[in-house]
Amino acid sequence: MLRLAALLCCVGPSIALGGEPTPGQQAKPPGAIAPLATPVSPVPLELAPIGARALGMGQAFIGVVDDPVAAVVNPAGLTQIREREVSLHLRHASGDREVHDLNAEQALAASNAFLAAAGWPALSGSTVVALDDSVTRPSFLGVVYPLQRWTVAAHYEQSRNLEGRTLRTLDDAFHSDVYESRRDLSAALWSLGVSAGYEISPRLSVGVLLAHSTLSLESRDSLRIDWFEDFEFRDPLPVPPEEIVDFRLDEFVISDEDSSLRLGVGVLYEPLEGIFVGLRFQEGETFELQGAHRSVRCIDFPGEGACIPESELFTSVALDVFRRNVEVPDLLGLGASWRPRSWFTLAADVERSNYSNRAPGGDELLAGAAASREPVDDSTAFRLGAEFTLFAGQSGLPLSIRAGMFSDPDHDETRRIDSDELHWTLGLGLQPWTRVGLDLALHLSDPVTELVVAATYRF
């Protein structure tokens, strides 16, 4: 599956709560007080499969495109639909996706730099965490209306919906410090569009897609560091050190949405009877999102009032606002299908994702995080699928059995995670009534399990 390029890697300015300690205050050096920076960690917004039949065939659909999903995959295929159709698809996904927690990495790097200089034991721990994701949403609604040589379609497409959270805790047992990194995330990418296919000849069709896409993101990344014996204002202390509330909290919050236009074109050609070749190009969207960073510094002795404002302890840190572009790469795909019989279809696709046409996600990262970045080149995905149709029962109801696989090249932009893997799919199709078709597809992979069901009505 294709991930959104840039992955929302946003970084605020370098933060150092140095300042001068108040008289009599004993504190660790500034390097131990705050991490180098608190960035917004990458968001793996993979573009999900849209159609149940396409997913069942391993998403090898550029050269097939004979159902309403053609409006999005390759609009030239709309000319194969000769009846008015409406199709609704629902998608359920669940699983734990590996993501790189830049908050934890920054905290680990800053703390270990201080600990090493002081000759104290270093902290250890993984900065790869699991994003618990489970969501059920409509993924596609399309209406197709054939004319003479033209076939037009309108559609709603939700190509991504992600809801999840992560939690990572690092303990410095030597100083009784606790580093807690959290993330709460809700992201959705959807579009409304129109498509048209035109039949130049019985063997050649062309098509065009125009869609208005919207990316909505609600993301809260936070890093809280609890210290227990760093600031000893009095001797003796009025309470045991472990009862002192002494923490630093950094939050990066994005609550924004932006829209962009997507343009696509497609071609479908039948050079020989039963052999189809499809070609599509889609220009990726660009979204600009705005977020804010705030920092809270708190020291509280139980029973002696609320937290001491940061301005009374250190140089205050202002609220920062940042912007970040999220870029979907351009797509260029070639597909072919072979139908030696009306009941058998074999399909294969190859598609190039143009990641090199945008700025690397790590451009704004500081050295501590940049060390874990890796460059992402243009990637090529391969897909293969098959469909076998038999006729079941006395009434001869058509039952289609589908299977497929597709590759997903590593393009997560981090050395910590290797996401290059093969995905396997299964699917079923049934036509219980003359004008009603039902489809089901199951996608099985290590990070996620997806189920897509669809109903199509011809009128």
Q: How confident is the model at residue 59 (pLDDT cuts 50, 70, 90)?
A: very high
pLDDT in tens, 7-49: 333 332 222 222 333 333 333 333 333 433 444 545 545 555 5
pLDDT at site 296: 73
- Over range 205-225, report the average pLDDT: 90
Q: Worst-scoring range by mean pLDDT, 35-49, 68-82, 120-134?
A: 35-49
| pLDDT higher than 90, residue 246 | no
pLDDT at site 376: 65
pLDDT at site 164: 73
Map out the domains of the chain as residue ranges. 2-458
For 16, counting Cβ atoms within 10 Å of its Cβ (0-12 exposed, 13-18 middle, 19+ buried), the class is: middle
The CA distance from 239 to 337, in Å, is 76
Radius of gyration (C-alpha) of the chain in whole angstroms: 27
- Over range 315-320, report the average pLDDT: 53
Q: What is the β-pairing status of strands 436-444 and 245-272? A: unpaired
Average pLDDT of the chain is: 76
Record the tokens describing residue 99, joined without a space. Answer: 């993501």
pLDDT at site 419: 65
User: Phi first, then psi: what are they for 300, rounded to 5°?
Assistant: -140, 125
Residue type, 409: P
Nearest to 154 by CA among 192, 101, 186, 128: 192
Q: Tally the C-alpha atoms within 13 A of residue 426's C-alpha that lie toward its C-beta.
A: 4
Q: How confident is the model at residue 325 (pLDDT cuts 50, 70, 90)?
A: confident
Q: How confident is the model at residue 162 (pLDDT cuts 50, 70, 90)?
A: confident
Q: How confident is the model at residue 82 (pLDDT cuts 50, 70, 90)?
A: very high
Angle at 73 between CA 52 and CA 289, to 5 degrees: 100
| pLDDT higher than 70, residue 373 | no
The CA distance from 162 to 91, in Å, is 12
| pLDDT higher than 60, residue 237 | no
Task: Tell if the pTM clears 0.85, that is, is over it.
Answer: no
Q: Worst-scoring range by mean pLDDT, 42-51, 308-317, 433-442?
A: 308-317
Residue type, 264: G
Looking at per-residue confidence, does 379 or 258 come out higher? 258
- Over range 185-199, report the average pLDDT: 93
Q: How confident is the model at residue 382 (pLDDT cuts 50, 70, 90)?
A: very high
pLDDT at site 31: 34
* Percent of the chain with pLDDT strictly greater than 90: 39
Distance of alpha carbon 44 from the chain centroid:
3
- Over range 360-366, report the average pLDDT: 34
pLDDT at site 6: 34
Q: Kindly tell me the sign of the dihedral angle through the C-alpha atoms of 224, 296, 220, 8.
A: negative
pLDDT at site 204: 98
Looking at per-residue confidence, does 338 or 416 come out higher? 338
pLDDT at site 19: 30
State which fold the 2-458 domain adopts.
Answer: Porin (2.40.160)
The CA distance from 245 to 338, in Å, is 69
| pLDDT higher than 60, residue 53 | yes
